[in-house]
Every structure is written in C-alpha cells, then in structure tokens.
Amino acid sequence: MGRAIIMFSLGLMFQVLGQVVYSYYIFIEHIDIPYPSLGDVGFFGTIFFYIYGIILIAHASGIKFSLSSVGSKIQVVLVPFVILLLSYFLILRDYSVDLSQPLATFLNYAYPLGSVVYISIALLTYSLTRSILGGTMRHKILFIIFAFFAQFIAEYCFIIFQNSYYPGSVLDYIYAISYTIFGFGIFQLFLPLKGLETKKVDGKVTSDTVIESTVVNTVS
Amino acid sequence: MDNRYQKAILNIVNMQKQIIGPLAMDMARRVGAIKITDGNVEIIGDPKDVLHKLVKEYEVLFGALSVKVSKDSIKEMNFEPNELPEILR
C-alpha cells in the first residue's frame, strides 16, 4: 500500500512537471505548446507510475483471489477490450502513422493506450474485488479507483478537444478537478495507515493509547 | 508450546506485510499478547485466542480479504479445525 501511495504521488508530481512546462511555454515564452516537448516527459511519465500504482492496489485488494472463476476471466478480457474499442472510436481511428515525426506519432498512440491500461486495471480491480474487499480501506480504495476514472476522463477530453484548447479553458478546469480528486484520494488512503503505526515513547514501543508491558511471561 | 502457532502467526504477519508493508508488524504488536523480535514469536495466553485477535486486527483494515489472506497463509500447515479459531476455519 505504501508503495502504491508513492507511485500515485510520483505520478501526480510528473503531471505537475508537465503543467509547469506547458505554463512556461504559454506565459513566459508566449508560444504555442510544441509537440512533443519536455512537458510530455511529465505527462507521459505519469502513465508508468499510475499503471504500477494501480497494479499494487489491485494486489492489495485481493484481485488474485477473484481470478479463479470463469466470469472473472471473461471480465479480464472484456473490460480492456471494450475500453480499447472506445479509445479506437474516439481517438485512434483518426490517427495515421507519420514516420517523419516518429516521437509525435508514438505519443499519439501511447497516450490513449497507456490510459487504457491503467483504467482497465482500475475497473477490473473494482469489479473483481468488490465482494471480498471490506474494512476501513474499502471505501478509500474505491475512491482511488474513482480518482483514476476522473484522471482518465481529463486526459481523454484533452486528447479529443486539444485543438480547441486555450489556457483557462474548460479542459484546464477538468484537469484541476481530477488533480484535486486524485490528491484527496492519496491523502485519504494514507491517513488510516498512518494512524495505525505504533509510536516509540521513551524507548518503549506503544500502540495509540496503550503502553505495552516490557515484562511478559510466555505460557508454555 | 506447539511451535505451529508461532509459525502461523509469522506466516500471517508476513503475508499481510506483502499488502500493507511494515505496518503489518505494528498491527501484530497491537494485539498485546504477541511479542515479535528478530523473527521469534512469543505468545502470551491461549494461542487460538491470540490468533483470533490477530486476524481481527487485520480484518479492521481490509475486511473479509484480510481473513482470506490469513487463511491462505496457514493452509499448508495442516491444522485440525478444532485447533484454529472459528474465524480461520
């Protein structure tokens, strides 16, 4: 779980990198955002952290216990396929391969496909573990999955409507909302884990409210 | 004392560690009747009751999943049903 939180945080930091670079082009250089640019290092780099982070969440949510049934195996194939289809009809079918701009062409396909990967894992995590996942972490993990969905929506909206983008447009607003949701998701995921840590007081390990006795007898 | 209970506790804690990291050890120590130092486990009191408390501690975080993970971690240890608390049968 801790590693998942770190991955999500790094993913968001990379988004910040992308946003800062884009802002530099817009507000300092006063030029159209080049594509690709250093900002794409941030935005594209995010995808790897998000994918690894959601894999860790899926593992923590007990997805391996839910993969034995036929229905689950069907979902594992169907969910990514449906999202891939969605991606194709919304975005990919309008792209063509332009070998004179290999990096731009690569990113054109990699952005939507990378998003397909992490949102598929997120949706599968929800659908395959909702019957087994419980306790205090259940709602927090579900919120993180919702945060992924918000981020996915923001990214696809930007890809689809990027030609009409301008600073302060509704696309920026959608991104701001998704970042807020994601940041809050990370924070609320982190809090219960932090609260359960034992503390050291005067060299003695303690729980939240009880000081453990240092003299114990083992019953044989 | 039957060492299997100590091994069971270690297995459960190590399995939970794969999900929640070092926090699993902290939560095991919260049980109070368990003392874990350098891989050695000391159990104070009835081991069945201690196992029950340990699993209940983890159940707070992930519910039925934590119980399933705990059961999974000791399934190779060939406990008889009456040797285990009800939550792990």
Q: Which residue of B has its CA nearest to A5?
A: B20
Determine, for residues B21 and A3 on separate chains, whether the beta-carbon distance falls below 8 Å.
yes
Contact of B82 with B11, CB cutoff 8 Å: no
| Residues linked to residue B36 through DSSP beta bridges, in sequence order | B41
Q: Is the peptide bond before A36 cis (omega within 30 degrees of 0)?
A: yes
Q: Which residues fall within 8 angstroms of residue A7, CB to CB, at 6 or more apart?
A: A49, A50, A52, A53, A56
Measured CA to CA, the distance from residue A210 to residue B25 in angstroms comes to 16
CB < 8 Å to B26, chain A: 196-198
**What are A170-178's contacts with CB under 8 Å, separation 24+?**
A175/A19, A177/A150, A178/A147, A178/A150, A178/A151, A178/A153, A178/A154
pTM for the model stands at: 0.84
Picking from B20, B32, B43, the nearest residue to A193 by CB comes out as B20
Residue of A nearest to B45 (CA): A219
Q: Do B62 and A207 touch (CB under 8 A)?
A: no
The 10s digit of each residue's pLDDT in A170-215 is: 999 999 999 999 999 999 987 776 666 655 444 444 444 333 333 3
Q: Identify the closest residue of chain A to B69 by CA–CA distance.
A: A62
pLDDT digits (tens, 9 = 90+) for A13-67: 999 999 999 999 999 999 988 999 999 999 999 999 999 999 999 988 888 888 8
Map tokens 């000391």 to a residue: B42
- Interface-testing mutation among A1, A125, A142, A209, with chain B (most B C-beta atoms within 10 A): A1
Which residues does residue A199 pair with via DSSP β-bridges, in sequence order?
A206
Looking at residue A4, its pLDDT comes to 92
Residue A154 scores a pLDDT above 60: yes
Interval B29-86: pLDDT, tens: 888 888 888 778 888 889 999 999 999 999 998 899 999 999 999 988 888 889 899 9
Nearest alpha-carbon partner for B5 in A210, A213, A218, A197: A218
